[in-house]
Structure 1
Amino acid sequence: MEDNTTVSVCVGTFDPFGMPITITKHLSDCATIAFQAITLNLLLSHAFKIEAAETTVIRHSEGSSIRIDRTLKGYTGYVGTDDSE
């Protein structure tokens, strides 16, 4: 039986404007990338007058990924393994 379990670790939470509220210190590089992705998402949604993305996924060529989910209180970023092949 194949194990398809993936592990995600929270890298930080961000307010509705993308400013960091809390970040995981040892994952600060990932939190910085999440902050930049949120900022770009908000900039593009404002420029094109569309709603900001609910979920943003940034995939690394070596198999890891950062997922940013929009919530009612802002954004939450997670780092984990990329399960899409």
Structure 2
Amino acid sequence: MPDPVVVDLTVVELDSAVRAVVAQQLRLPTAELSPGAPVRLDLDEAERPQLLTAMGEVFDATFPDDFLDGVHTVADLSDAVRVSLRA
């Protein structure tokens, strides 16, 4: 049985990495993306593939082109990445 502290830490680290990538790609101050902040991802057609590429590089993964469909907030994105990576 995995140690719950380790699992929680992994989730926190994943969420932190997602927020850092979003902040960099959208040129937002990281403070605006604090945990629990309901930040909407209003991405245009050029930003979507750039964000996917950046996320793939950080997590050493490939996400499908439709990965961001239904993703509206940074929290949604963290959840989608977590499910995709089975973290």
Q: Is the structural similarity TM-score above 0.5?
A: no
| Structure richer in strand, relative to its length | 1
| Structure richer in helix, relative to its length | 2
Say which one has the larger Rg.
Answer: 1
